[in-house]
Amino acid sequence: MGLIVVSNRLPVVLRQRSDGGVEVQPGSGGLVTALRPVLRDRGGVWIGAPGSGGLDGEATRRLFAATERESGYELIPVELTRGEQRGFYQGFSNEAIWPLFHDLVPLTRFHSGAWSAALRVSARFAASITNRARPGDFVWVHDYHLVGVGRALRASGFSGRVAFFLHIPFPALDMFLKLPWRAEVLASLLTYDLVGVQTMRDRRNLLQCVRALVPGVEIEGSGGAVSVRFAGREVRIGAFPIGIDFDEFASEAGTEPVAAKAASLRADESNRKIVLGVDRLDYTKGLPERLEAFALLLERTPALRGKVTLVEFVVPSRETLSSYAALKRELERAVGEINGRFTRSGWVPVRYNFRAIPRSKLLAYYRAADVALVTPLKDGMNLVAKEFCAARVDGDGVLVLSEFAGAAAQLQHGAILVNPWDTAGTAGALARALDMPRGERRARMRKLRRAVRKHDIHRWVDSFLDAAISRSLEGFPRVEEFVPVMEHAGAVPAH
Ligand code: ADQ
C-alpha cells in the first residue's frame, strides 16, 4: 500500500535568494515536525504547496530532485496563484477556521468568497492526487486548510481510500454553528473513510455537531474510534493523539555537542534559573498572557529578581496577516516594558528571540532549562511540551502546561497544569515549578518521559492506519482524556 500524504505546505520551502537564485529550506511547524519521520521511514509521496519562490527554472527543479533523493520520498508541488493564496490560505484557513476552531471569535473574519476559494484550491489538490494515486494507495489528507479535498475527490469520481486528520481542536457545537459554511464543511468531512482528531474532547465535539446537523445519522461504538453511518456510507471518527519521534529527540539530545552547548547556556546564566518558551508566532499560544504571568511573579516575589530569566523563542509565522503583525508588536512592547521595569546590572529578565533555531540548539535549550512554560490558550496537541520531555535525558526539568493543550491528556500526571487565562494562577504555578525539590522533579519527569515515549509518532501512525483498515472497531482502545477537577470542592458552600 503506497502512502500519499497531502498537506497545505510541503516539508520544504523554496526561497528566493538576494542574488536571484532559489534555495531549499526545511519547513517549520508542528505538522511538518510530526510527519517528516513518518514518510522518511515508510517512503511514499508528499503533495503540497512549495511556499514562495516558484518552480520555474532548471536549477530549481534540480534542487527539488536532490531534496527528494535525500529525504527518501517523492515531493509533488501544487502551485497556487496569489489570488488563491489570499482566498484559501488567508481568508478561509487562517482568518475563519483557525481562530474559530481555537474559540477566538473576536479574531474570526468570515469573507463571503472564502469557502468557494477553498473549494477551488481543494479541486487543484484533488487533481494532483488523482494524477498520482495508484490502485490500493492510501491517501491521507492533513489539516483544516484541506477539509474540502475529500468532497472534491469524490466529486471527481475517486473511489480509493481517503482519510483526514485534523491537527487543530474541533470546536464545541455552539462555536461550530457560527461558521457560515458549517453544513458544507461537515458534509465534506463525512466524505472521508476515516476522520482523526487529536483528543477525546475533539471527538466528542465533532460527534455532537454530526448528531445535531446530520439528520438520520447512526453512530455506533464507544471506543477510541466509532462508526458513523448515513446515506449508505460509513465514516469512522476517532481520537489519535499525535506524538514525536521520541528516540530521535532523545538520542540527539544525549550527544556530546548538545550536552556541551547546554552546559555553556547554563554557564552564561551563572547561577540563575532558566524558564523556556518555544512557540510559533500565534495568538493561540498565549504569549502576552505568559509574559504577564512572568511579570506578575517578579512583581510579587522580589527575591526572584536577578535569579530567574525567561528565554522565549518565537518562530516567525503568518506575518502578512494583520492580527499576527499586531501580536508581534504587542510582544515587543510587553518584553520592552518588563525589561525596562526590572532589568538590573548583569541581568535582563526576558531574553526574547524572534527567529527559528536549528534542532541541535533547540535541544540544548530544552536541556538547559529548569522549567518549560507551555501555555497555549488552546492547542490541538502542542509538540513543544513533548519535545522538552524527550530531550530531558538527564531526567530533570519541570513542565508547566496549559490545560487546553491536547497534550494535557497524556502529560497530566507529570506536568503542573495551568489555566492560561488565569495569569495569577500561572505565576503561582511557575513559582512552584522553580521551587520544586529535586526528588519531585525527577519523579514527575519519569512519568512525562514514559507518556511521551508510549504515545510516540509511530504509535500514532500505526493506530490511525489500523483504524482505517481494520474490519471492526471493537476493542479499539479509548485514549486518555484530561478533565479538570475542583481541588477544593470541600470549600464550595452547600448553598
Ligand atoms: P503548531 O501550531 O505549529 O502545530 P506545535 O505542536 O507546538 O505547534 O509545533 C511547533 C513546532 O515548531 C515544534 O516542533 C517546535 O519545535 C517548532 N518550533 C517552534 N518554535 C521554534 C523556534 N523558534 N525555532 C525552531 N523550531 C521551533 C499544529 C497544531 C498543534 C499540533 C501540531 C501537530 O497547532 O496543536 O501539536 O500541529 O499536530
pTM of the prediction?
A: 0.95
Task: Tell me the best of 101, 142, 278 to mutate to test the pocket of ligand 1, counting ligand atoms within 8 Å of each CB and taking the most.
Answer: 278
How far is ligand 1, taken at its centre, from the CA of residue 475, in Å? 32
* CA gap 409, 451 in Å, rounded: 10
30 in ligand 1 pocket by Cβ < 6 Å? yes
User: Helix 359-368 crosses helix 383-391 at what angle (to 10 degrees)?
Assistant: 70
User: How far is 274 from 166, CA to CA, in rounded Å?
Assistant: 34
SS3 128: helix
What pLDDT score does 267 carry? 95
Distance CA 214, CA 206 (A): 12
pLDDT (tens digit, 9 = 90+) per residue, 350-407?
Answer: 999 999 999 999 999 999 999 999 999 999 999 999 999 999 999 999 999 999 999 9
Cβ of residue 37 lying under 6 Å from some atom of ligand 1: no
Exposure class string for 279-315: b at 16+ Cβ within 10 A, else e: bbbbbbbbbebbbbbbbbbbeebeebebebbbbbbbb
Q: Residues 380, 34: contact at Cβ < 8 Å?
A: no
What is the gyration radius of the CA atoms in the chain, in angstroms? 23
Instruction: Assess whether 379 carries a catalytic annotation.
Output: yes
| E runs forming strands in 136-224 | 138-142, 161-165, 194-197, 218-220
Instruction: Give CA angle at 356 (351, 361), nearest 5°.
Output: 75
Per-residue pLDDT of 58-78, as tens digits, reads 666 777 788 888 888 899 989
Q: Which of 167, 279, 455, 456 is catalytic?
A: 167
What does the pLDDT read at residue 192?
A: 97
Grid coordinates in use for 282? 500565534
Residue 427 reports pLDDT greater than 90? yes
Return the pLDDT at 430: 98
Residue 464 CA from chain centroid, whole number: 17
Cα gap 382→452, rounded to integer Å? 12
Closest by CA to 460, choosing from 228, 74, 254, 163, is 163
Q: What is the pLDDT of residue 493?
A: 65
How would you classify the pairing of strands 74-77 and 161-165?
unpaired
403 closest CA partner among 285, 328, 482, 305: 482
* Cβ contact 66:49 at 8 Å: no
Neighbours of 270 (CB within 10 A): 8
Task: Give residue 16's pLDDT.
Answer: 74
pLDDT the model gives residue 60: 67
Pairing of strands 350-354, 371-374: unpaired
Q: What is the pLDDT of residue 14?
A: 76
Average pLDDT score over residue span 222-227? 85
What share of the chain has pLDDT > 90, as a percent? Answer: 76
Measured CA distances, 113 to 119, 167, 314, 463 (Å): 10, 24, 32, 37
Any atom of ligand 1 within 6 Å of the Cβ of 401: no
Return the half-sphere exposure (C-beta side, CA atoms, 13 A cut-off) of residue 439. Answer: 0
Q: Whose CA is nearest to atom 37 of ligand 1?
A: 30
Confidence (pLDDT) at 156? 95
In the block, cell 505546505 appears at 9
137 is catalytic: no
Q: How confident is the model at residue 55 (pLDDT cuts 50, 70, 90)?
A: low
Q: Tell me phi and psi for residue 194, to 5 degrees.
A: -140, 135
* Whether residue 259 has its Cβ less than 6 Å from ligand 1: no
Report the residue among 104, 312, 384 best suited for mutation to probe ligand 1: largest number of ligand atoms under 8 A from its CB: 384
Q: What pLDDT is stored for residue 56 in this prediction? A: 64
Could you read off the pLDDT of 247-286 as tens digits, one per residue?
Answer: 999 999 999 999 999 999 999 998 899 999 999 999 999 9
- Residue 53 predicted with pLDDT over 60: no
Pocket of ligand 1 contains residue 78 by CB under 6 Å:
no
Strand 74-77 to strand 194-197: parallel, antiparallel, or no bridges (unpaired)? unpaired
The pLDDT assigned to 66 comes to: 80
Nearest one of 367, 360, 353 to 395, comparing CA atoms:
367
Taking the centre of ligand 1 as the mean of its atom positions, its distance from the CA of residue 404, in whole angstroms, is 15
Say what the pLDDT of residue 489 is: 56
Angle at 104 between CA 101 and CA 108, to 5 degrees: 85
Ligand 1 within 6 A of 94 CB? no
C-alpha cell at 97: 477556521
- Give the tens place of pLDDT for each residue, 111-127: 999 999 999 999 999 99
pLDDT band at 96 (very low <50, low <70, confident <90, very high): very high
163-216 pLDDT, tens digit each: 999 999 999 999 999 999 999 999 999 999 999 999 999 999 999 999 999 999
Percentage of residues in the chain having pLDDT higher than 70: 96
Centroid of ligand 1 to alpha carbon of 358 (angstroms): 13
The whole-chain average pLDDT of the chain stands at: 93
Q: What is the number of alpha carbons within 13 Å of residue 162 lying toward its C-beta?
A: 25
Between 44-58, 223-237, 329-343, the lowest mean confidence (pLDDT) is in 44-58
pLDDT of 13 reads 80
Residue 54 clears pLDDT 60, i.e. is over it: no
Which of 187, 172, 48, 171 minimizes the C-alpha distance to 115? 187
pLDDT for 132 equals: 94
The whole-number average pLDDT for the span 3-16 is 88
pLDDT band with cut points at 50, 70 and 90 for residue 32 = confident
Instruction: Kindly state if the Cβ of 280 falls inside 6 Å of ligand 1.
Output: yes
Average pLDDT over residues 407-424: 98
